[in-house]
Chain A
Amino acid sequence: MPLLSVLILQHHFREKEVEQMREDQDLMVLEEGVSCDVEMACKCTKGPIKVN
């Protein structure tokens, strides 16, 4: 492959990388969360009630 093509390709991938890094910093998932399925809230103990 001609040197110029290699340089262009490298530049292209670096740009993509930089763009990806910017996007990664712009939006970070800190907690994936759970499915939307609801569970029973109140697992009662003998004493006072656990509320959520």
Chain B
Amino acid sequence: MELSRYLKVYPCTDKPGRAMLLATRRCAVLELSESLWGRVCNNGELSEREQSVLADKGVLVADAAAERKEMLETFKIANSRKRSVTMLVTLTLECNLACPYCFEDPFRGRFLMSDKTAELLITELTQKMRAGFDVKIDFYGGEALMALPRLKDIAGRLEQTARENGVKFQFSIITNATLLTRKVAEELLPLGLTSIRTTLDGPPDIHNKQRPFVSGKGSFDTILNNIKELSGLIPIELGGNYTHENYRRFPEMLDLLIQEGVSPETFSAVGFFPVFPKADGSVSGDCNSTCASSDEPWMIEAGLILRGEILRRGFNAPKPGPSGCMVEFDNDFVVGHDGKLFKCTTFMGDDDLCVGELGSFVADYSASHNRDVWKNDECLDCAYLPLCFGGCRFLRRLRTGAIDGVDCRKAIYDATLETIVRQDLELRDRA
């Protein structure tokens, strides 16, 4: 057996003579004595159990060169195994909020999905269901619930088709939650609603400045009331967008939720992220600390501090895991309100990155989206490859004007991953 190259080794400073391993293909974490680690590294004798555990968790592999080659096939295998289709469906580009940082600013407006486009979507997904695929939709906008009748029509018909074909249909809504009352959620649950994703940008004064209604009125209280009504009814994933100036105050919002009787269990996950520039690269005057890179020192510090505060209060934060861009997944698309297909929501305003249309074929986007960008020696030899696969194409494009290389995340993982792993071990499930 040989050591996998997709492995990080961290010293245990509080436990002399021991080391911690993170096998990044599985994100398994092991602690072992330095004497055992010495035997592992020097092909020393291992017991049957030691060998079996280390192989099972991805620390040891039969052939490291073969594993490297196997990585090249990661998405080919994933696509061949996947029996589900995920569509992120833009019902409207209209929104009742006027967030200064919204990356859709360059192309938002009163654009609703037409009857014809909805029919094309239903037809296409019906064909997939008849072929035995499960279907998952993330309804998206603008504000998706400003097109509630359209959402109900699509979901209702697909739910029935799924039942007739013995496959699963489920949907989530990416929503600002201002219109998501308990009554609306109860109407949507039988149609396949399984979760929602919404956003609170910190405590009320910050949130109301960053996420006001179009009228200028703050939206915090409306969203909080709806979250209270939805608590226990449906899993909620909570996001939030911070700047250099305000990230330290985000934990106040978590405390406020608890004070208001919204328990951490209400949320399936909580994650806060820095404000990035808009889809066209422009930056709102109110959010002047946006950045097209996530490895700036303040962003690294902010991300770690906030993740720790989330876990410390008993909320769940997503664990690192093997993941790749939508570009890698053959059956998954962003559907524009007009039926155009994209591989990222941020590309919706750019026809050069349109990869097809509902009802017609999908173009080969390998070159335009640099699909194999990570298939180079540097990435294939990088321990972080299973977590990254070339990073974010949108961020690369923001930096250089083109998807002309990887968005290398090595610096950010070097600076954060060990702390993230230790946070998970020390803080998770403590509440």
B421 to chain A: which residues have CB within 8 Å?
A: 31
Q: Are A47 and B322 in contact (CB under 8 A)?
A: no
Query: Which size bracket describes the interface of B in this complex?
Result: 35 or more
Q: Could you tell me the distance in whole angstroms from the C-beta of B304 to the nearest C-beta in chain A? A: 14
User: B128 near A: Cβ within 8 Å?
Assistant: no
Beta-carbon contact of B32 and A44 below 8 Å: no
Contact partner of A45 among B20, B199, B387, CB < 8 A?
B199
Residues in chain A near residue B35, CB distance under 8 A: 26
Chain B residues near A29 (CB-CB < 8 A): 28-30, 53, 57
Quick check: B389 and A38 within 8 Å, CB to CB? yes
- Chain A residues within an 8 Å CB radius of B32: 26-28
- Closest Cβ neighbor of A32 among chain B residues: B28
Which A residues lie at the B interface, using CB under 8 A? 23, 25-52
A49–B174 Cα distance when bound, in Å, is 13
| Complex alpha-carbon distance, A52 and B30, angstroms | 23
Apart from A40-B323, A46-B99, 15 more pairs, CB < 8 Å: A31-B421, A33-B23, A37-B81, A38-B328, A41-B323, A41-B389, A42-B325, A45-B174, A45-B197, A46-B95, A46-B143, A47-B239, A49-B394, A50-B271, A52-B392
List chain B residues, Cβ under 8 A from A27.
30-33, 36, 49-50, 53-54
Contact pick for A52, options B50, B320, B329, CB 8 Å:
B320
Asked if residues B50 and A33 are in contact (CB atoms below 8 Å), the reply is no
Contact residues in A for B329 (Cβ distance below 8 Å): 40
Contact of A41 among B54, B273, B325 (CB under 8 A): B325
Q: Does B107 contact A (CB under 8 A)?
A: no
